[in-house]
């Protein structure tokens, strides 16, 4: 075997190892994402299973009597007495996030949040 052939053999082996690593990384990433989604669905199902009906069912300002003045003022401004109470919300965010303390390393992100009141 000549040096050229030996070098070619090592290049082939290195390429094979690299490709195997890339495929393994891709497979693990796909598995991790699907597992994350499955666990999120399970957690949301557990959350929904223990929810209780919102009381009162409509907006009333009776419970605000002991709240600080700015809170009372805000709720009286944004809510209407008699409106249905909100039992939960599904919130989606997207934007960019700077991952550096000292520079500009903005990366896109998305988030998906389930909020419940009870």
pLDDT digits (tens, 9 = 90+) for 60-85: 888 888 899 999 999 999 999 999 98
Residue 78 CA to residue 43 CA, distance in Å, equals 31
Quick one: 116 exposed, middle or buried, by C-beta within 10 A (0-12, 13-18, 19+)? Answer: middle
As a whole number of angstroms, the distance between CA 89 and CA 118 comes to: 12
Give the global pTM: 0.53
Please tell me the predicted confidence (pLDDT) of residue 1.
46
């Amino acid at each position: 075997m000549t040096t050229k052939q030996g070098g070619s053999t090592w290049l082939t082996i290195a390429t094979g190892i690299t490709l195997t690593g890339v495929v393994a990384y891709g497979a693990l990433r796909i598995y991790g994402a699907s597992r994350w989604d499955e666990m999120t669905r399970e957690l949301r199902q557990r959350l929904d299973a223990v929810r209780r009906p919102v009381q009162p069912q409509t907006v009333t300002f009776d419970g605000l009597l002991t709240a600080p003045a700015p809170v009372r003022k805000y709720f009286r401004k944004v809510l209407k007495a008699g409106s249905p109470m909100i039992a939960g919300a599904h919130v989606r965010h997207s934007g960019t996030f700077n991952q550096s303390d000292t520079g500009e390393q903005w990366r896109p992100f998305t988030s998906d949040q389930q909020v419940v009141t009870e």
